[in-house]
Amino acid sequence: MKKEMTCIICPNGCELCVELEGKDIKEVSGALCKRGKAYVSQEITDPKRTIASLIKVNDGEEALVSVRTTKAIPKEKIFDVMKEIKNKEVNAPIKVDQVLIENILGLGSDIIATKVVDRK
């Protein structure tokens, strides 16, 4: 089976053609750098994503703080992680890179703030 993918690892955005036999990768073409093949392998066998979202802030100059994961999480866990983030509230002040949820769902990734929110 052939599958077409766009590599997102570097700015080249290579259009990759992948020849699969089940989940076994037989051939990858179209990659301008060696990272394309590694991307395909990871995407086929264990797809992961980073998440960016918002968390409610109590007593802050802003009602929400932007957050992100510190490392990619399994794609199938995105909705579970988003549910945890949605249910979280934090108190101001918040600092950039402050861990707001440690080791979310035991996935080895923290949820950190990406901006400052001062107290009212």
- Domain membership of residue 81 (yes or no) is yes
User: Is 8 within a domain?
Assistant: yes
Q: Is the pLDDT of residue 17 over 90?
A: yes
**Confidence band, pLDDT 50/70/90 cuts, at residue 34:** confident
Q: In the prediction, which pLDDT does 14 show?
A: 94
d(CA 49, CA 72): 5
| 8 and 36, same domain (yes or no) | yes
Q: Indicate if 83 and 60 belong to the same structural domain.
A: yes
Question: Is the model's pLDDT at 23 over the cut of 90?
Answer: no
114 Cβ contact partners less than 8 Å away, ≥ 6 residues apart: 52, 65, 66, 67, 68, 96, 97
The answer, as to whether pTM is greater than 0.95, is no
Binning pLDDT at 50, 70 and 90, where does residue 22 land?
A: confident
**39-61 pLDDT tens trace:** 999 999 899 999 999 999 999 99
The whole domain housing 79 covers 52-113
Number of domains in the chain: 2
Mean pLDDT for all residues in the chain: 95
Evaluate whether 5 touches 16 at the Cβ level (below 8 Å). Answer: yes
Q: What is the pLDDT of residues 53-95, one digit of tens each?
A: 999 999 999 999 999 999 999 999 999 999 999 999 999 999 9
98 inside domain = yes
Residue 62 identity: E
Residue 85 near residue 55 (C-beta atoms within 8 A): yes
The rounded distance, in Å, linking the Cα atoms of 27 and 20 is 7
